[in-house]
Chain A
Amino acid sequence: MDFSYTILIPLIPLALFIVLGIFSKKIPPSISGWIGSLGLGTSFVLSWYTAYTYFLEGKLNGVYQTFIYKNTWLNFTDKLHIDMGVLIDPISVMMLVVVSTISFMVHLYSRGYMKGDDGYTRFFSYLALFSFSMFGLVLATNLFQIYIFWELVGASSFLLIGYYYTKPSAVAAAKKAFIVTRFADLGFLIGILVVSYYAGTFDFQEINNLQGSIITNWAATSFMGLSVFTWGLILIYMGGIGKSAMLPFHIWLPDAMEGPTPVSALIHAATMVVAGVYLVARLFPVYYFVEDGFALQIVAYIGAISSLVAAVIAITQTDIKRVLAFSTMSQIGYMMLALGVSKYDGHEGLGFMASMFHLFTHAMFKALLFLGAGSVIHAIHSNEMGDMGGLRKYMPITHITFLIAALSIAGFPGFAGFFSKDEILAAAFENNMLIYISSVFVAGLTAFYMFRLYFGIFWGQEKQYKHTPHESPWSMTIPMIFLAFMSIAGGYFHFSEYVTADHIPFKSHLDLPLAAIATSVGLIGIILAFVFYKKENNLPERFAHAFGVFYKWTYHKFYFDELYIFITKKVLFGVVGFSAAWFDKYIVDASMVGIGNVTVSISNKIKGLQSGKFQDYAMSFIGGGVVIAMVIFYLWIN
């Protein structure tokens, strides 16, 4: 089977980026919107076609084959070289579908949402750049290629978050996102250097090889008690923590909501933030086998803790996009913990499968939630929940699609989220009871804050609106309808027959007791939200008061931002940067100038010899003569 045509999938957006970027002033907005959408539509069709052919015909002896097409891009040493190419295996094909679907939907939606905006063409060129980078990332054949596209995705995110660049808050958010992820990428880079040095290769196939040097011989070199490969994997995961907004590098995600809402839907909900999950999935064999899964445990716990903390914070936030941002962080935490508790062979790899399944369904319903939020924001020109209420009368399509997505994320039976979340809980139940309990609690919280949002926007008391809100145009609602369809239908794919850890399909089944527990927890959350928020009342305030200090801490996102600003501004740049600059100006430079001053003062003293008095000259003359005479006399005597 020849999948080399998949190289077109990233190249089309690249061409779009170059054309739209260079000619951004000359192409009228309506055309650029169409060109962008058409291009991504082509990638969309190609991706689904690839998925269709691959999953139906890509098996050899019941194992999904990996297809690689690559070329050397840069040679380092004899063994280490960066290749550029495409790698087709179950998870990359799945990711192609996810990225192209969401990107295409967002392109269509943006045609309506960004209409009339000054930088319309620029926006589409940035979207194309992002799509190109994300495709390159999921198709990467080796560690350095994924790093290259990882950085490019970060740059696209920077440009898109800072799209409204005249707003200082947007610029600050863009900078913060870039720098936080860059710090995480530092860990990633060092991890790559470590792993590649001891393995002698960057290539994924060689690294993941079950008979390869890493998996069979990871204990050979160790550093401070752990194998060097464990260190490398932990460092590589650090990059994933940053990109996927896991604790402690999550602080950029809420601020990233400064970008236009389609951007939030595409990048910060469905695609870029799952790059960390994808990275661990891509390297899953080494994560699982090296040091008996030590690094994988770290993945699991960070995922679990992030999902819990994020869900708690989401309950108190009032900006709808921030609620959705923390919700994303929480759901990605689910994906990470599912990977973390997973094993490898066949049915034991349930966690892996569940994680990828949830990635797929989450992309659909989270993007839809963001697009719905964008629709609402577009109608009433505000992000704050306090300004919203009773919108179900004015925006029926937005209302229904939002409800579908909310039910899906809450895990209501029959919707896609129910199936994927259930698999995650089953995997957690089988492997780590503590994480299972935490995840069930998070499921309840998720339902609660999601329906708090839903009731707060579409029910409750109607607010004074500047002008009567109206439903969004078809260009915005059609993508939402499609995604709503996927938020239900997506759950019915037999995912375990397509995407598994060892590329061998298995049959999964619904575990009724666990499903019942999860569903009831979800229902409790929905009912509580109904009680608190359907009609306006002061029950929320009374509860907030009751929780007192804890509420305050949660509302301020546990003061992580303040802590980081303190460390960077006061300690790093205040102390280190300031001392460096001071040292340079007043000590190093002063010593160079000092050398000059010393020379000048010495010359001032010496110039006294040219006094102009002939008697002084005569004195020197006689003095010299006496000295020479004494020397000669001394030598004559001896």
Chain B
Amino acid sequence: MIAGINIYEILTLTSILFFIGVYGFFTRENLITVLLSIELILNAAAVNFVLINTYLYPDLLQGAIFSIFIIALAAAETALAIAIIINLYKLIYSVEVKDTETMKY
């Protein structure tokens, strides 16, 4: 519990963070920046877990521990994504999103 601050205010913060990440995922033109946006989404979720833990269940620790999980997961997923991007780069020599549209009608 942080004195003087409402849960809703921090929830707003995490939501904004989440949707910035979503927006970034939809609109960025560089694959790496899309990855960055994914990080934002994951981090927003993690902060949400800690927040709920602090404000609603102050006696428990599960929320905070779960946020560590999320960080580990994010790292693994980022590594995987970078590996895919590197392999793709070897093929098309570009990390632009618009060069990855060949699997269409």
Q: Do chains A and B touch in the complex (CB under 8 A)?
A: yes
Binding site for B on A (CB under 8 A): 607-608, 610-615, 618-619, 622
**CB-based contact A613/B105 at 8 Å:** no
Q: Secondary structure at chain B's binding surface: helix, strand, loop or mixed?
A: helix
**CB-based contact B101/A611 at 8 Å:** yes
Q: Residues of B contacting A618 with CB < 8 Å?
A: 25-26
**CB-based contact A622/B22 at 8 Å:** yes
Instruction: Determine which of A608, A610, A613, A622 lies in contact with B97 in the assembled complex, contact meaning CB atoms within 8 Å.
Output: A613
Assembled-state Cα–Cα distance A613/B96 (Å): 12
Residue interface bits B84-105, CB-to-A below 8 A is 1, else 0: 0000000000000100111111
Residue interface bits B37-75, CB-to-A below 8 A is 1, else 0: 000000000000000000000000000000000000000
Q: Residues of A contacting B102 with CB < 8 Å?
A: 612
Assembled-state Cα–Cα distance A219/B78 (Å): 103
Q: Residues of B contacting A611 with CB < 8 Å?
A: 101, 104-105
Q: Residues of A contacting B105 with CB < 8 Å?
A: 607-608, 610-612
**CB-based contact A615/B104 at 8 Å:** no
Task: Name the residue in B26, B27, B101, B105 with the highest tally of chain A Cβ atoms < 10 Å from its Cβ.
Answer: B105
What are 16 inter-chain pairs, A to B, with CB distance below 8 A? A607-B105, A610-B104, A610-B105, A611-B101, A611-B105, A612-B100, A612-B102, A612-B103, A612-B105, A613-B97, A613-B104, A615-B27, A615-B34, A618-B25, A619-B26, A622-B22
Assembled-state Cα–Cα distance A559/B34 (Å): 92
Q: Residues of A contacting B27 with CB < 8 Å?
A: 615
Assembled-state Cα–Cα distance A618/B27 (Å): 11
A482 to chain B, nearest CB (A): 91
A26 to chain B, nearest CB (A): 71
**CB-based contact B26/A615 at 8 Å:** yes
Residue interface bits B17-34, CB-to-A below 8 A is 1, else 0: 000001001110000001
Assembled-state Cα–Cα distance A614/B88 (Å): 15
Assembled-state Cα–Cα distance A622/B22 (Å): 9
Q: Residues of A contacting B26 with CB < 8 Å?
A: 615, 618-619
Q: Residues of A contacting B34 with CB < 8 Å?
A: 615
7 extra interface residue pairs, beta carbon distance < 8 Å, beyond A611-B101, A612-B102, A613-B104: A612-B100, A612-B105, A613-B100, A615-B25, A615-B27, A618-B25, A622-B22
A63 to chain B, nearest CB (A): 94
Task: Name the residue in A611, A613, A619 with the highest tally of chain B Cβ atoms < 10 Å from its Cβ.
Answer: A613
**CB-based contact A614/B22 at 8 Å:** no
B41 to chain A, nearest CB (A): 11
Closest to A608 in B: B105
CB-based closest 4 A-B pairs? A612-B104, A612-B101, A607-B105, A610-B105
Q: Residues of B contacting A614 with CB < 8 Å?
A: 97, 100
Closest to A610 in B: B105
